[in-house]
Amino acid sequence: MMVEQNRERDAQAYAETLFLFASMTSDGGQTLAALREIVRHRSFSELCHLKVEDNKKILAPQADNGYLSEHDLVQTAEFMGVCGTLPVVPLVNSIAIGMTVAAVSTRLRIPRTLLGRSTLTASTTAGSYIVSNTEEANDRRRDLLFPRFWKSLEDPSGVLLALQTITNRYPTFEPSTSSPGQFLDAPAPSPVFVDEHAPSSMPVAKSQTAPTPAPQAHSRWDEIRSKNAKQATPSAWDALRETHQRSQIQSKEGTSKGTEVPAPQDDRAKAQAEFDAMVERERNMK
């Protein structure tokens, strides 16, 4: 009996897959992809209610606009009732799985200790609740129900327009632009023309000059140091250093020209005499 049910289920799933493939290759493939994208979005599940009457109230304005026929209105409302968030169902499923695991582990004594069996039961219950309550699980549930909903529609394009109109009212709905399921493109923004001759209403920022730094107060030591620097005269050592540097520069220039000019003895004696005189003058000043 179980084998026959599994075969029937596999055959039904295979038939639905063939139907979707044929729909994708036909002219309604774009509508199918766009409708599937809206159904898979979390904003659609937030709009869905468990009661079919509440879903009909949401879809009633779209039926008045001519997007939905009476048949499509009922089918869409029922599909929204099944696709709505069911917080009780994951809890019931997790409790049932936990009780099954507890019964099997108690009968087979796996694990052997009571603490181990309790831990296994608790972890299995919590894990099954988390897995069954995820968004991926809800997407799979909607994917399983979507082929039957698609086949029951009379005007899929009208249903697509109705669902797009409803979901676009909510800021949480952001369809991906890269997905092939995008059916209606947003209008391109109109270009903004700027008149060059029109007076500009924007205030012109005034040029701000950098603030001049405040003068720093000079101390008494700074004044004395500057006064001594002005009154200081070059010493004999400075004059001798300058004379020696000039003589070196002149000797280098003469060497570069290729003429060797021997230094006369008179100049050396004169320089020695000047040096002795300056040394003597420095001693007298002390």
- In tens, the pLDDT along 75-122 reads 998 888 877 655 566 677 778 888 998 888 888 888 888 888 888 888
Backbone angles phi, psi at 82, to 5 degrees: -80, -35
Q: Where are the domains of the chain?
A: 10-87+133-167, 236-256+265-286
Beta carbons within 10 angstroms of residue 32's beta carbon:
20
Position 173 scores a pLDDT of: 42
| Buried/exposed 74-113: b ≥16 CB within 10 Å, e otherwise | bbbbbbbbebbebeeebeebbeebbeebbeebeeeeeeee
- pLDDT of 18: 39
Looking at residue 110, its pLDDT comes to 84
Q: State both tokens at 58.
A: 């949401």
Q: Residue 72's pLDDT is what?
A: 93
Q: What is the pLDDT along the chain (286 residues), one digit of tens a residue?
A: 444 555 555 545 544 443 444 444 444 578 888 888 888 776 777 788 878 898 899 999 989 988 899 999 999 988 888 776 555 666 777 788 889 988 888 888 888 888 888 888 888 888 877 776 666 666 777 778 888 888 899 999 999 888 888 877 544 444 443 343 344 444 444 444 444 454 554 444 444 444 555 555 556 667 766 766 665 555 565 666 777 677 777 766 665 555 555 555 677 788 888 888 888 887 777 6
Contact between 43 and 173 (Cβ < 8 Å): yes
Please give the Cα distance from 258 to 264 (Å, whole number).
Answer: 18
pLDDT of residue 243: 74
Query: In the prediction, which pLDDT does 141 show?
Result: 73
